[in-house]
Structure formats: C-alpha cells, structure tokens
Structure 1
Amino acid sequence: MNTHFNNKAFECVGSGRLGLALHHEYLKELALVQRELGFKRIRFHGLFHDDIGIYQQHEDEDGNVHVEYNFTYLDRIFDSFQRLHINPCLETGFMPEKLASGPETFSYWKGHITPPNNEQRWLDLVTTTLKHLVDRYGDTVYTWPIEIWNEPNIDQFWAGNEEDYLHLFKITFKAIKQLDSRFIVGGPAICGVQDEKWIKDFIDFCEQEKLKPDFITRHFYTVSVVPTAGHYRYPELRDLKESLHELETSRKLIDQSSLKGLPMYITEFSTSYSPDAPLHDTVKNAAYVADMLAKMGDTCELYSYWTFGDVFEEKGIPYQLFHGGFGLLADHQIKKPTFWTYYFYKQLLDQCIFKDDHAVVTKDDQGNQAGVVWNYYRDQEVAPYSYEIKQNQFDSAVLTLQLVDDNHGNPLKTWHDLGEPANPQAADVKLLRQAANPKLKTVILDRGESYSLAVSADSVVGFTLKPRSTSSDNGFDYEKLTK
C-alpha cells in the first residue's frame, strides 16, 4: 500500500488546433467537459497558423514590407475560453506562411514547420501577441504557460535541426522575458524520440547560455509504432511501469543539473499518439489511463490529456463517429469510457488512504470516502481485482458505485450493435448518449459492515461512501413496497 498520491489530472487538457474553437461542436464539447470535469488550462496547436490570421504583411508599391496584426479570431476564441473558466497554455507555433523559410508543412491543415525567414518579425509577432493578451485579459496572462514550439525532435513538426530549435528557443525566450520577466516560459516540448538526448542537450544549452526556463516540457505516449490498416491503426499498449521510466529519467536529468526542482510539464499524454487508433474509444483505454493518472503525479506537476474532444483534423476530417479520435468525448458530446475515468478522479477527496496498482482511495476530515478502482487486460489474462470497502465511520452510510465495462458506459459497443452508422440520426445519438452512462448501484452499509468490490479486466469503478440519514414523510414505508 502506498498513500502518496498527487492528483494533477485537471491542471490542463489538450485540444484540436486553435482554429477549431470557432466550431459550434467544439465549444459544446468544451462546455460539457468544463461543467463536469473543470480543467484549469487548455493547450492547442496553431496559435500563429494562418486560419487564426494574427500575422498579416503586404508590400507597398515601392516594395517595402508592412506588417499588421489581426486579433479578431484570437479574441473571439479566448473570450469563449474565459466564459468557460479555462485559461490557455500557449504553444508558440506554427509559423505563418509569410514568415516560413520553406514549404514544409504538417498535417491536413498545413501548419508551416520551418524556422522563420525573418527572426525579428517572428519575435515581434510573439511579443505583440503577448502584449495584446495582457491588455485584454490582465495580469492573469502572466500565469499562462508559454511553450516554445511543439515536438522539434521529429521532422513531422520541425523542419530544422536541433541546433536550429535551440536557437529559436533562446531568441524567443529572451524576447519574452525582456518584454516582462513575469511571463512563464519553457520547452523543449519533445515527444519520446531520442527524448533522453534532447532533454540533456536542452538543459546543457540553457546552462551554457545562462537561460533559466520556468519549466521543462515533454510528451508521453505508451504504445508501439504500427502501420495503418485502411484508415485506422491498432497499436499494442506497452507495460506502463516500463514506460514511466521515460518520465523518471527526464526527472533525474533535470534534478542532476542546475535546474534541479524545476517543474516538469507533460503537455501531451495518452495511450496512442495518433488520432486514428480505435483504442482511444475503448474501456481498455479508460482502465489504462486510470493507472496513468495514479502514477504520473509522482514525477510531474502537470499532465495534459490529449484531447478533450474529437473535433480534430490532423489526419483529415474523420470518416465516422467512432474513429479512434483522441477525445474524452465523441461528436454529439457522447462520453467515451475514458471521460468517466476523469470523472471518477474528479470526485476524489484530499487525503489518500490507499493506493496500489489498481486503486486510489481517498477521504476527507468528515470520514467521507471516494475511490477509483481499475483493472485491464494487456497481454495475458488477469484475475478480478478485489478491494474491501470498510464502513467504520458512520451509524449508517450509502455506498454509491459506478461501473464502466464492456456492457456499461461503453457507447462504442452500442454503436457497433447499431450497425456502425458513420453519421447517426438523432434517435441513435440519443441511444448512444444513454449507453455512455455507467451502471449505477447503491448499497446501505451500517457501522462495521464492508463491501467486497471485485473489478474484472478492462473495467473502471468509481465509488463514494457518505453518511445516510432518513427523513421519511408521514406514512411512507419503503419496506412495504419491496415485499
């Protein structure tokens, strides 16, 4: 048993590119997520992409270049975020087309991934945008993490080399800090490719250049690399404890340097790194993520699930409702199983009383309990996991259990049974929303009684234990109704 538990699950959540926040479905999904889960921050690609339109330049008749900035869409989107009580985590990228030094792009939506063709104009873009945000939203902007670029250690996202990235980081970091030292800035936002080398090189570079980033960022995915089959891919989950060594190594590299104690932010994490892996839509994903959330706080101060919803277009417009998208929600605000993992973690209280590889159980000062229990099948059969819920605090208590498994809280199965409609009609959407709810069970426990909870493979259970008192109306007798 280990009662050390840091619940940082709600510090940040990921999103499709920023321009998608102009879509009605995107905002409806985010509103639901904020209402029921309440993340503090949101991270996205595409802050400087041309569909947001911030950077504008034109030449006059004499060939002189004039730069203008247009914040219309940025303000519209960030105002929506403020109304939903979520603050941005600012990823500086990608390059506006007119600032790009080459033709290389990323994704269906063609984000430019080359270094700037004019460094001063890039720096002016970054600092002018930050000035505008402070003017509009005030000092809270100084608490918004600013991350320099995204995954520069793979050519999918960065057409330069490592030296080019480090140079971009240095000049951008210095420009932001010169504007106002209160801004919090970090990097290198790498994924798991040569991650140890890149983290070490980044730290060494910061030490040599006397740069003091406010945090270190990286990403974390836990599946094998596999080819696509048609529009989809079916990766295998890695052993989570083995995968967590990546984060432990990164943490050690930070703490063995002059940056010791600096926060490490995981600004993207999930099982699969690709939005075409149906694994994301499954109960197995929900159980595995429950295990991740129990452990990632041991090394990280922030870990951001990628993403809150399926409004996402890196591989193009999805062909059907369930397509392996990253989201906690499918389109039509249908809750996937992993949504409930987050919901159960949201119910946890402030004191951890039990933690192992299948459960986190918490309580408060009044004796109320809340827990998450999970089990998953990876590469061999697993026995049901049992946890004994003991009731010693109250004369009478009500135990509430919510189960997500293959037959409950699993709209993917219902969608399959309905014939896998690519674009379901309203009646089917209603059924799928109903199918997305967990199985609910309540049990009355008197003082000294207990309940043995058995959790089968690929299942997640959230439970609460609270005091129970009855105040029946005159003449009402429930027992007479149940004989």
Structure 2
Amino acid sequence: MRDFKEYQYEMIQGQESLPINVIIHSVEEFQMHWHKEIEILFILEGSINVRVGEESYFLRENDLILINCNELHSTRRLKDNNALLAIQIDPEFYNSCYPQFNKLVFDCKSFIFGEEQERFDIIRYYIAKIVWELNKRNKGYQFVIGNYLYLLAKHLLTNFDYVIIEDEAEELRDEDIVRLQRIIEYVNKNIDRKITLKEIAEREHVNYYYLSHFIKGKMGISFQEYVNSVRLYNAVDMLKNTDKSIIDISHASGFSNVNSFNRIFKETYNCSPSEYRKNSKNMSEYVNNSTNYKTIARSKTYLDVDRTSALKKLFTYLKPIGVEVKEDYGITNNIEYISVSGMDEGQYLEHYWQNLITFGRAHEGLRANWQKQFREIQREIGFKYIRFHGIFMDEMMVYNVSPEGNVEYNWTYVDELFDFFMEMNIKPFIELSFMPRGLKRSDETVFWWKGNISPPKDIKLWTDLVQEFIKHCINRYGIGEVESWYFEVWNEPEYEYVFWAGTREEYFEFYKDTALAIKSISKNLKVGGPAITHGTILGSSWLKDFLIFCQKNNVPLDFLSIHIYPEYIPEESVEKFYQLIESGVDVGNKNFKPKRIYHEKNHVLNTINIVNEKIESILNRRMEVHITEWNASSQLGNPIHDTCYVSTYIISNVLQSIDKVDSLGYWAFTDIFEEQKLGISHFHGGFGLMNKDGIKKPSYFAYYLLSKLGNEIIDQGEDYIITRSGEDIQILAYNYTYFDDLFLSGDTSHINHRERYLIYENKDIREIEFNINGVVGDYKIIKYKLNREHGSAFDEWLKMGLPENMTLEEIEYLKGKAKPEIIVEYVGLKGEYRIRFQMPVHGAEMLVLEKKA
C-alpha cells in the first residue's frame, strides 16, 4: 500500500506518448483519491468495495465501473483476495473532437444491469485490446490504441446515460475537494498525536456535526476510522523496518494506548502486532538465507498479484486470434546485402555444439525405443559425448551387499548401456550422482524415479565404488578409451535438499575425495564439476569459493561444468518452494511449477563470459568449460519446447557462443524422459529434440542444419554465418525473435496447449541477399527452409486437429510432413552466385554449394 498522501491527488502518467495508464493491482487497504483522468475499474478476481462520492458499491469478479473526472472515490478490500485492472484516460485526448468531454458524467456500472451485459462487453473488449496492443507493441501500435480510445468514447456517448456538469456545480465540487484535501493534509501532519474532529471543525469554521457527515459522505468511513487506517499503515511500516518496541510503535503511530493499538490491529490483520512482526521477519530471513532454485532472487514488484490468471481473464474478451501462418515473400524495406569471396581465408570453426548431447537417466538408455531414436540422431547429426543421470541408481543394480555383508558390484546394465555407446561411436560424459540405497546417509529423493540426493554414509564406500567402476571400464574398453571420457562429480549440489542433501562444505570435501580417487587410477582421467546453474553463478559466491577451494587444496579440476537456462524464479515462488520443502513435501515428485521470469536475449553468452572471467581471475588460466545442461526453458512441460521458436534459439546461441565454451549440451535429445513420469500428450512440452514417438521437432532440425556447416568461417553477422569446407560453401541465416514484455515478466496468460505463438515480440520477415564471389565450376545447390510451414511437427499436428493417441499411420504421416523444405538444382557458375533469403519469424534457411568434380 502506498503512502496515504499519494492518494490525495493522483497524477497519472501516460504510457510514453499515449494518454493512458494501465495498472493491474490488488486492493489491500482503504485507498482514497481523485484525479482529472477518467478511470475504468475492471474486477478480474475476487471482490472489492468501491465508493464514488456518497454512494457505495459492491463489485464482484467481471464487474466494471467508470469513475468520472475529479470524482472522489475510494476502494476497500473485502474478505477475499482480489485483482483488478485500472485504465486511466486523459480526457484532453478528446479535446480536438469533443472539447466538453471532461465535463461529462457517465453512468456506467455493469453490476446494476444483471445479464444485460452486451454494451459492457464491448468496453471489456476495448480494454483487452488496448492492453494487448500495449504488450505486443507492433509498429504503429500507438495509432491502434488511439483508435480504440476513440471507439470507446463513441460507445460511451451513444450507449450510456450522461449529464454535463455546469460550471457552478463544478466549482462547488472543487470546493469540497479542496476542503477534504486540507483535512487529509492536517491529519497526516499530526497523526502522531491525538487529533479530534472538533479541532478540525474549528479550523474549517464549520459545525462539528456537519463536518462529521461531510467526511463520512465523501470518504465512506468515519473520521476516526480514517485516522486509525493512517496510524495502522505507519505502524506496519515500523514493525517491518525498525526494532522499536510495540509500545514505542503504538505511541509513535498516535494510538492512545497499547491496548487500543493491539485491538485495532488484530481486528484488521487477524493477528497481534508481535505475531505480524515475527511472521514478516521469519519469511524475510528464510528467503534471504535460502539458495534459490535455478534463480537469482529479485524483490517483489509494486502491487504484486497473480498477473497470469488476471490477464487470462482479461484476454477472454479478445476476439479469436488465428494461428495460421502465411509466408509473405514480397518486397520488404529492410533488405540486407552481404557480399563475400568464397576464396577468402577463413577462421577455423570447431563444431563444439556436437561435442555433447544429453538424456534423462541411465536406465532409460536400455529401452528399445530410446535406442532406436538415438541411432537416428547419431546417424544424421553425430555427437561425440553423451551425459545422463543415475549411473549408480538402484535400478542399474550396480551396488549390492551379500547376506554376509560383503559389497558386490554388478556391471551388467552398465555394460549393456556402454556397449551401445561404443557401437554408436559416442563417448560417455559420466555424471557421478544419485546415491545407491546401500550407500545413502539419509532418505531424501527427487523426481518420480526417486533419485537419492544424500551424501554417502561412508566416503570410503563411495570412492571404492567409483574406483571399481572405472577399473571395470578400463578392463572392458581399454585405458586409452576411458581416459578420453569425462567424469563429472554430482549434479547441481548448490540446491541443498533439492539435489544435494548436505552442506556446501560437505560437497567441496565430497568433490575432493571423489576427484582424488579417480586420479589415483590414472592422472590422465578427466574429472570436474560442479554442475551448478547460472542462478548460483550470477547471484552468489558459490563458484568463486569452489575454485578457491580447489586451488588452495590442490584438488584436481580438469574442466568446469555449468548449467544455463533462460529463466529465473522470482522471490514469491522461491518462498513457496522452500515452504514446501520445509513442510516435508518432495518437490520433484509434486511436479512443482514455480513462476518463471526470463532473462534478456543474450543471457547465455553473458553467463558464459562471466564464468570465463571468474576462471581467469581466480585460477589465472584457461580451462575447459562444458555446459552440461542447456535448453530454451528449465520447465518440463513448457509449451515452447515443441515450437519453431526453439530452432532459432538454438542456432542463435550456438553461433553466438563460438570459441567461448567447449560444449553446449542440449537437455535433452528425447521426450522419452521420466523426471515427472512420461508426458501424456504427443506434444506436451517435453525437453526433447524428438518427441516420445520419434517425431522430430524443429529443434532437431536446427542441429541438423548446424551440422552441415563447414570448418572455416568466411563471414558471420548477427543473424547469419557463411562457412567453407574445401571448395564447398554453406550459408545459414535465421530470424530469431525473442519473447514479448508480458511473457518475459513471467505472465503465461497468452500461451496454452493449442496457441503457443502469441508470446513473442513482433518482427517482420528477415530478408538478406547473399552474393558469393569466386565460385567457378559445376555445383550442386541444396536449399533448406525451416519454419512453421516446413519442418515444424507441432504446427502440422495443429493442422491435423491436435489428435491424441495417434495411430501408427497418423504418426508416420506426421513424420513425413514435418520436415524442412529441400530444393536441389545443378548449375554451372562463372564466378558469382546470388541468392535472397526471406525468413519469417522463427524461420531459418540454409544454402549448401557442393563443388562437383
């Protein structure tokens, strides 16, 4: 709640050059104000009391009321929570068309007319469209909003009763407002002492009883109720922000005695001042001392409400928005022209993005359908390493204890999985995490498959297991092969009691003992970690302390592994998360889905740069850096995972991060993934490049196109790259479009299972014309198009009608339809080749010039 003084005369600032202000907020306490703007209040959730002049109204969800210019009005919370949208319009906007508009007093109250809501629904529609346009900010959106404001005014004039305020009546109303303002200013200035209505009546030179009626009529509450409201507000501020005693706060707030303060406080807040302070302090300390889940904590914003549910309600009044995408390849005004020589010396390009791919957990890799999908992706794209959870989990049956109490190791399932890796020409990037039951110190688990996150009950038993595992692998595959593998110690240990049921210091020691055990077998074995997330890196000293620990204690650290996702979780979701943990809830198994707010567009690159700077400043050397988890969202079930957006997200970040990291491991290659049980829908927002049926998503084809790049960079720009391999030339360009402001803020009201493309900023078709010089001879030219019309399985599924439980025939049909467009031609070139790419939003195009013998 803001200072009461701010409500005396509220100056409304417009949105940039627009004559409006839009606020979504909740009413917590008594709020009284007036202003020259017209205001429409639309209740999106709950109920509130609104008083206008001397009339009081009860508004429920879906009700709206228009507050006219300079009408004194107040709002007060009732028992239930509430959320409302206020749109405030400067009447001077209408002066050129209707100079007297600010003197019109409309009677516009939807709750009076019961089911006769058609004319009010038109107002709701205009409000929804204005908010929508403010969010999307298309080119010229100001004109669109201006159009809706004029339509709204016309609708009010033609469909609602109104009167024109005469100059004399306006003067009388102004006198009342001036008097009320004087009274409020006097109360605020003297709130810390006893104030009586009698002394104010004497100051105003009016009768005591007249003044009492005047205040009650204008404010809707008695003089003493208003004074108590101001005092309570000041008291709450002191309870939260000072160490003053309850008695001192009572006195400083102006209450006659502490008993009166306690009684009025409890009537208002349903708890005593001491209880209120204790609860506020506990929550503040709890959040400040907690490690955030894949997040950087951020303070709550002003008037924090559930914007998502509120806007979902508002946007139900939008007219249906179609999902059909049409490619317009007409002339645009922003064509970029790129000219290069195909014979220029290029910069070496390592396909580092193919160094690492990931999947859920080891046991999933034993399934036939999983292996079928992996054979296909490895054949078409080809990765060097593969990372996964749970190599020692009980379902792999590695760690056993005989009836006599002897430890016995069973490598059968490990051999089956690793033999498959060798067959597929890929090496394991082995995450040593999740404790076998026989070694656990405690019972904490995570995910549906209940991975145990505790440290070992005996570190010697753990290091024996790790050493015996490596020795077995050396015996089976040879020491040269195993020395080319990576051994990563644990997974996200900074999330205490989420992925590591121990302290940070315990993890440091655990890492040291594990690393030394590995190196005792061969100094050439690669060991590293700590597999922490971007939130911890950016928001704490965790990484710095880990690097210093390793340096001071001569702990082996051959590579650093980190996780990067584009979101963080705001403070209120973090509070809920840790409340669940504190209450003993298994958060992973509860399918906890906190609100997520997205970082800015270059978050991945910025995080990588920060990590490299930390390594250089602390260790004074370069080190291999592997991003062992990375995706367009950390949320399983996020609808964006299946869309064409992810293809350009991958291409953009991969090309942006060249020479910055050693791998960028996409999490994960398949939707055969069971952290929260297998997804039900064919397109349920799984992490995978392929869905559970083996249907390739646009993200898959992003890697497919990237794999066709050459090994030399001839030229690279913000949204394209030109490479060479021998005499062959490759061009890859894309139209990467990031989220709009509403979605960036964590609001998901305009995305659902069917409609997944309304959350992006508006951009035009990206048009680039490439001119390649120095190409002579016969060439095979292959053109690829990847966009919503070509290569997007979700969009094809949408056209099919979103069928679930598809037959094999339907699945095969979708596999055939959901492929990039390919055009092949053979040409003889005499020194130049020119082509124009025209890429819609979320689209990519590639050209491959293959020199024929």
TM over 0.5: yes
**Selected match of 1:292 from 649, 653, 667:** 653
User: Which residue is equivalent to 2:111?
Assistant: none
1:12 matches 2:373: no
2:716 counterpart residue number: 355
Relative to 1, partners in 2 of residues 1:120 and 1:430: Cα closer, same or farther, differing over 3 Å? same
Which residue number in structure 2 is paired with residue 101 of structure 1? Answer: 441
Q: 3-state DSSP class of the match of 1:256?
A: helix
2:687 aligned residue (326, 343, 355) = 326
Instruction: Give the TM-score normalised by structure 1.
Output: 0.91
| Distance (whole Å) between structure 1 residues aligned to residue 838 and residue 450 of structure 2 | 49
Distance 1:398 1:176 in 2: 51
1:362-441 equivalent positions in 2, closer than 5 A:
362-366=723-727, 368-378=728-738, 379=740, 380-392=761-773, 393-441=775-823
What is the one-letter code of the residue matched to 1:370? Answer: Q
- Cα distance 1:13–1:50, how it changes in 2: closer, same or farther (>3 A)? same
Larger deviation: 375-384 or 233-242?
Answer: 233-242
1:186-208 CA-partner distances (Å, limit 9, x unpaired): 01111123214221111000011
The answer (yes or no) to whether the contact 2:401–2:408 under 8 Å persists in 1 is: yes
Contact 1:362 1:370 in 2 (8 A): yes
Name the SS for the 2:454 alignment partner. Answer: coil
Quick check: 1:30 aligned with 2:414? Answer: no
Instruction: Provide the secondary structure at the position in 2 that maps to 1:330.
Output: coil
Aligned equivalent of 1:257: 618
Cα distance in 1 for partners of 2:467, 2:642 equals: 40
Alpha-carbon separation, structure 2, partners of 1:93 and 1:34? 25
Matched with 1:186 is 528
178 and 449 in structure 1: CA distance in 2 versus 1, 3 angstrom threshold? closer
Pick from 477, 480, 488: which aligns with 1:137? Answer: 477
- 1:46 and 2:407 are equivalent in the alignment: no
Distance 1:405 1:234 in 2: 29
Q: 387-396 or 333-342: which moved more? A: 387-396
Query: Residue 236 of structure 1: CA displacement?
Result: 6.5
Give a deviation string over 1:122-179, Cα, whole Å, max 9, x none: 1111100000000001120111000000011113211112111101001111111112
Measured in 1, the distance between the counterparts of 2:635 and 2:363 equals 20
In 1, distance between residues paired with 2:707 and 2:415?
A: 30
Q: Deviations over 1:415-474 (max 9, x none)?
A: 2232323321011111110122111224566433411112121112222012468xxxxx
Partner of 2:707: 346
Segment drifting more, 433-442 vs 30-39: 433-442
Shift of 1:413: 1.5
In structure 2, the CA distance between the partners of 1:30 and 1:58, relative to structure 1 (3 Å rule), is: same
3-state DSSP of counterpart to 1:27: helix
Letter in 2 for 1:187: G
User: TM-score normalized by structure 2?
Assistant: 0.52
Q: In 1, Cα distance between the equivalents of 2:653 and 2:564?
A: 10
Query: Given that residues 223 and 237 in structure 1 are in contact (C-alpha distance below 8 angstroms), is that contact kept between their aligned partners in structure 2?
Result: yes
C-alpha separation between the residues in 1 aligned to 2:633 and 2:455? 28
Q: Is the CA contact (8 Å cut-off) linking 2:527 and 2:558 kept in structure 1?
A: yes
When you count helix as a share of all residues, which structure comes out higher? 2
After the TM superposition, which residues 301-340 of structure 1 pair with which residues of structure 2 at under 5 Å, given as runs?
301-340=662-701
**C-alpha separation between the residues in 1 aligned to 2:618 and 2:772?**
48
Aligned to 1:478: none
Q: Alpha carbons of 1:363 and 1:237: their partners in 2 closer, same or farther (altered >3 Å)? A: farther
Is the CA contact (8 Å cut-off) linking 1:113 and 1:159 kept in structure 2?
yes
Cα deviation for residue 121 of structure 1 reads: 0.6
Q: Report the Cα distance in structure 1 between the residues aligned to 2:527 and 2:501, rounded to whole angstroms.
A: 22
The 1-side partners of 2:594 and 2:794 are apart by 16
Instruction: State the alpha-carbon separation in 1 of the partners of residues 383 and 718 from structure 2.
Output: 25
Q: Which amino acid aligns with 2:803?
A: P
Cα offset, 1:6, TM superposition: 4.5
Match of 2:175 in 1: none
Q: Which stretch shifts more, 331-340 or 46-55? A: 331-340
Q: For the Cα contact (< 8 Å) 2:527–2:556, is it kept in 1?
A: no
Matched, 1:174 2:555: no
CA contact (8 A) 1:4 1:355 kept: no
- Does the 8 A contact of 2:722 with 2:730 survive in 1? yes
Q: How many percent identity over aligned positions? A: 29
Which protein, 1 or 2, shows the higher relative CO under an 8 Å CA cutoff with sep ≥ 6?
1
Who is 2:843 aligned against?
459
Q: Unpaired runs of 5+ in structure 1?
A: 470-483
Instruction: Please give the secondary structure, in 1, of the residue aligned with 2:658.
Output: helix
Moved more, 87-96 or 153-162: 153-162
- Aligned-partner residue type, residue 272 of structure 1: S
Task: Report if the CA contact (8 A) 1:186-1:215 is conserved.
Answer: yes
| 2:657 partner SS | helix
Aligned counterpart, 2:564: 220
Q: Which amino acid aligns with 2:412?
A: T
Matched residue type, 1:49 = M
Output the CA distance in 2 between the equivalents of 1:105 and 1:259.
Answer: 38
Contact kept in structure 1, 2:393 and 2:451, CA below 8 Å = yes
Alpha-carbon distance in structure 2 between the residues aligned to 1:249 and 1:192: 10
**Contact persistence 2:719–2:736 (CA under 8 A):** no
Contact 1:309–1:329 (8 Å) recurs in 2: yes
Deviation by residue 1:211-253 (Cα, 9 ceiling, x = unmatched): 231111101111354889x998996654332442111111111
Determine if contact 1:358/1:385 at 8 Å carries over to the other structure. no
Match of residue 200 from structure 1:
544
SS for the counterpart of 2:762 is coil
Q: CA deviation at 1:308?
A: 1.3
Which shows bigger deviation, 370-379 or 450-459? 370-379
Asked if 2 retains the 8 angstrom alpha-carbon contact of 1:234 and 1:277, the reply is no
Q: Single out whichever of 219-228 and 297-306 deviates more from structure 2.
A: 219-228
- Whether the 8 Å contact between 1:237 and 1:271 is mirrored in structure 2 is no
Given residue 126 of structure 1, which amino acid in structure 2 is its aligned partner? V
| Code of the aligned partner of 1:150 | N
Match of 1:163 in 2: 505
Structure with higher Rg: it is 2
Q: Pick closer, same or farther for the CA change 1:321–1:345 going to 2, 3 Å.
A: same
Question: In structure 2, how many angstroms separate the alpha carbons of the residues matched to 1:33 and 1:24?
Answer: 15
